[in-house]
Structure 1
Amino acid sequence: MTQDNSGIRWGVVGTGGIARSFMRGLRAVPSARVTAVGSRTGARAEEFGQEWDIPNRHASYEALAADPDVDAVYVATPHPWHYPNTLLMLGAGKHVLVEKPMAMNALQVSEMVAAAQAGDRFLMEAMWSRYLPASRLARELVADGAIGELCSVSAEFGINVPYDPDHRLFNADLGGGALLDLGVYPLALASQYLGELTVVGATRQLSPDRMVDTQTTVLVRGENGVSATLGCASRTVLPNRAVLAGTAGWIEIPSFWAATELVLHRRGAGPERFHRPFQANGYEYEIEEVSRCLAAGERQSPDMTWAESQRLAGVMDQVRDAGGLVYSPANVKAVPLG
């Protein structure tokens, strides 16, 4: 499989809101274009294809996987389908960018990585926040000693969605729960600065049917000895910021998962504000990273490695298992492709 002179030829798996966000970001990337979309129904594929002027519109994921005009795919289906959809696409020789969380548990992530290795294909969890200019600037400031030695991290992501047992955030069959959908962001931020994480403790609130978490708070310790307090919620509005605190100051990142600014507070000085607006909607930066990796012959991004995705999935397994919220690997694997 080779890309043509127009850049990476993308296929989109799924036609929901996140797929539309991906499309808006991709249009700002000259080295990428979408040639195909796949859905579980022909009507949805046709509607999405017309909306975004996509030439190849497939009524099944299998048909998209077999499309010779596709180099890489973006998996934008609900969480439980990430695993089977990714294996299908890797098996067909496609490179894969899969929406976060990468899968329902660490076992699935390991099998997805093994498939990428066996097929010599690119695979990346779409942790778009890592590639944002403001996020990169924060890492540079910490590395340069702007806040001295890093001592602690805190991050939280909470929204109030009206409870509906059929909504994807509250439906266990759709991989619901605040941790998987929202908590992956603060966990990913912490692991970026702390390395491998050990869960020290966790508390949670459950949905009325007690099937998924609606609020989870986690205390983790990194391999560097630094601790982080992390929170997520689907029924509670939280301040939604990250703070990186050190011996000589701290960095505050509002809306850290979609950051366009940060504030540096140095000891003995006034706050310094940095603005890094998106070129489009922020998704363009992870798409550019996929293009860069493929052009360089790399099979994983150094900023979101396979090992990192496996570690994150393992931490979420630990947190969920502590409260009995276990998505059985056997049950998850039984989810049909169609």
Structure 2
Amino acid sequence: MDPVRLLILGTGGMARNHAEGFGRIPGVQIVAGVDTRPEQLAAFCADFDIPNGFATLDEALAWGEFDAVTNVTPDAAHYPTTMPLLAAGKHVLCEKPLATQADHAAEMAEAARRAGVVNMVNLSYRNVAALQKAAQMVREGQIGTIRHLEASYLQSWLTQPAWGEWRSESQWLWRLSTAHGSKGVLGDVGIHILDFATFIAGEDAVQVSCLLKTFDKAPGGKIGEYRLDANDSATMQIVLENGAIGTVAATRFASGHLNDLRLRIYGDTGGLEVSFEKGVSRLRASLEPDLQTADWHEIDTPEVQPIYPRFIAAIRGEGPAEPDFARGAALQRLLDRAEDSAHQNGLLLQV
């Protein structure tokens, strides 16, 4: 088995998950880290026994002794850092969202296609067993033709401090400020629930209507340097390729829900309920002959391999590179059109 030499770009909190995940895979060598913050970079490399550290991506590219990169930089940095990696012929796993605007995401997908490298985006809820099993059942025709869906991503960290105090911690405050690169709840978790719903349905959204709301959270709408103007709640209506319709919601004000995703999806011969709540994946179905009595039953869901070994398997030619940059670009186009719709008071727009 040939070793895969991996570089970690960005050494913030999420990068530790990547280092731990890749560090467990036989034959993967984490050979370098990149971060503009010297102290954080040094500590990260020491913690994970990474032999090389670089202050800039240019320095790392000049060195060049790596095969693949996991890009864990802030959202706005994904495009300018990924493009030179693709030009250098490196395989790339990029954190979501692929970019912060659709044209940049499309450029990244096209550049990856031309480069012929493995390209994947970390839509982490693809790792949910119930999601994968539900998608399989839909593709096998077990619920017939999709007609209707209801999806939600519910967080409550603006109503309680289970994850930390958002009023005083920069890791949360930046997510509430457009000037600090935030696209609000729509960009942060909207991408997850839209992927969750449309991947299971096996249909892309072709139309979207969206309303966004930013609530007053501090005197004058500001805390220190952070103006709290990013959206806190989003509601969407979508139309799928086959004409099915659905509602999709995302919010940080769902008191009682730390980080919960739900989908109810209905076809003309059955229905599925998919949930990932408190870290537990669950799938229920009502299928023939139970439709007449509206009985629902639990469905067994086999474990799913995480993104890290799937990325390495794709590099080794042992599995598909999914979800890829093309999927990330399609989702970004949907997010951009949802934002456009919100600026037009919820007008239904083509995607």
TM-score by length of 1: 0.82
Return 304-313 or 258-267, whichever deviates more.
258-267
- Report deviation, 1:275: 4.5
Structure 2 match to 1:180: 187
Conserved 8 A contact 1:98-1:126:
yes
TM alignment of 1:198-209, pairs within 5 A: 198-208=206-216, 209=221
Structure 2 match to 1:261: 282
TM alignment of 1:298-317, pairs within 5 A: 301=321, 303-317=322-336
Match of 1:66 among 51, 62, 65: 62
The 2-side partners of 1:31 and 1:304 are apart by 23
- Report deviation, 1:44: 1.1
The 2-side partners of 1:293 and 1:190 are apart by 25
Structure 2 match to 1:168: 174
- Report deviation, 1:179: 0.7
Q: What amino acid does structure 2 have at the position aligned with 1:314?
A: R
Conserved 8 A contact 2:146-2:244:
yes
Matching of residue 235 in structure 1 with residue 247 in structure 2:
no
- Report deviation, 1:81: 0.8
Q: Deviations over 1:103-134 (max 9, x none)?
A: 00111112212332343333222123225443
Q: Deviations over 1:153-202 (max 9, x none)?
A: 22211212245495232121222400111000111123322523133421
TM alignment of 1:291-330, pairs within 5 A: 291-296=312-317, 301=321, 303-324=322-343
Match of 2:119 among 118, 123, 130: 123
The 1-side partners of 2:325 and 2:236 are apart by 23
Q: What amino acid does structure 1 have at the position aligned with 2:247?
A: T
- Report deviation, 1:296: 2.5
Matching of residue 274 in structure 1 with residue 306 in structure 2:
no
Return 237-246 or 80-89, whichever deviates more.
237-246
TM alignment of 1:80-95, pairs within 5 A: 80-95=76-91
- Report deviation, 1:137: 1.4
The 2-side partners of 1:122 and 1:261 are apart by 31
The 1-side partners of 2:36 and 2:285 are apart by 47
| Counterpart secondary structure, 2:189 | helix
Conserved 8 A contact 1:164-1:170:
no
Conserved 8 A contact 2:150-2:265:
yes
Conserved 8 A contact 1:194-1:221:
no
| Counterpart secondary structure, 2:64 | coil
| Counterpart secondary structure, 2:306 | helix
The 1-side partners of 2:303 and 2:231 are apart by 33
The 2-side partners of 1:164 and 1:176 are apart by 18
Conserved 8 A contact 1:151-1:227:
yes
The 1-side partners of 2:238 and 2:343 are apart by 19
Which structure 2 residue ranges, 5 or more long, are not aligned? 159-165, 222-227, 345-351
| Counterpart secondary structure, 1:224 | coil
Conserved 8 A contact 1:197-1:220:
yes
Return 203-212 or 32-41, whichever deviates more.
203-212
Q: What amino acid does structure 2 have at the position aligned with 1:169?
A: R
Match of 1:218 among 236, 242, 247: 236
Structure 1 match to 2:44: 48
Conserved 8 A contact 1:66-1:92:
no
Q: Which has the greater radius of gyration? A: 2
Match of 1:251 among 254, 269, 272: 272
| Counterpart secondary structure, 2:175 | coil
The 1-side partners of 2:129 and 2:261 are apart by 19
Matching of residue 189 in structure 1 with residue 196 in structure 2:
yes
| Counterpart secondary structure, 1:255 | strand
Equivalent pairs counted in the alignment come to: 314
| Counterpart secondary structure, 2:141 | coil
Structure 1 match to 2:98: 102
Q: What amino acid does structure 2 have at the position aligned with 1:272?
A: E
The 1-side partners of 2:331 and 2:277 are apart by 18
The 1-side partners of 2:237 and 2:296 are apart by 30
The 2-side partners of 1:225 and 1:6 are apart by 47
Alignment CA distance shift 1:70-1:259 (3 Å) = farther
